[in-house]
Amino acid sequence: MIFPLFRRSQWRDTISGLYGTIVAQARMPSFYRDCKVPDTLNGRFELIVLHLALLLDRLAQDPALRHLGQAVFDRFCRDMDHNLREMGVGDLAVPTEMRRMGEAFYGRAQAYRAALAADDDGTLAEVLARNIYGVAGPVPAAARLAAYMREAVRDLEVQDSTRLAAGSLRFPDPAKVPADAG
């Protein structure tokens, strides 16, 4: 009787650990200082989406971890719903905003996946300029963020599946990405 309760609690801890790491990483000052990501609600949302997309792609690569992907995404949705309500968005508007956020996530995840598959960092920097910085032209800081993303993907690929399944996740330090990266 008590063992199923422990497993459920352990599952929650795993999901909270993974999602908490994403949020903590997205709040690192280096993104805002060095990569020039706007320190706004949208800028912070974009960094959460970026890291969530990277993690979900990693989890999808391992059949034993795929189930975690949906649970982490569900945690993201609950967090966004909670944040909208805290900011005073009315009950009737929350579903519309949640739909918009979901569409934003899936669009960005697809764009990041395609850009990461390209051989050049220019494509990734263009996607980041559009999504993170909100401009169609080149953004010098986007090259540094593109280099960070590639490093994060490489780092995620070598992380042990057992540790990920236990909620242990790490991302590289964005402050250590060279300023002339890209």
Q: Three-class SS string for 62-107?
A: CCCCHHHHHHHHHHHHHHHHHHHHHCCCCCCCHHHHHHHHHHHHHH
pLDDT, averaged per 10 consecutive residues of the chain (182 residues), comes to 48 88 97 95 94 97 91 90 76 80 93 92 93 90 95 96 93 88 56
In the chain, what are the domain boundaries?
Answer: 2-176
pTM equals 0.90
pLDDT given at position 3: 42
pLDDT given at position 46: 95
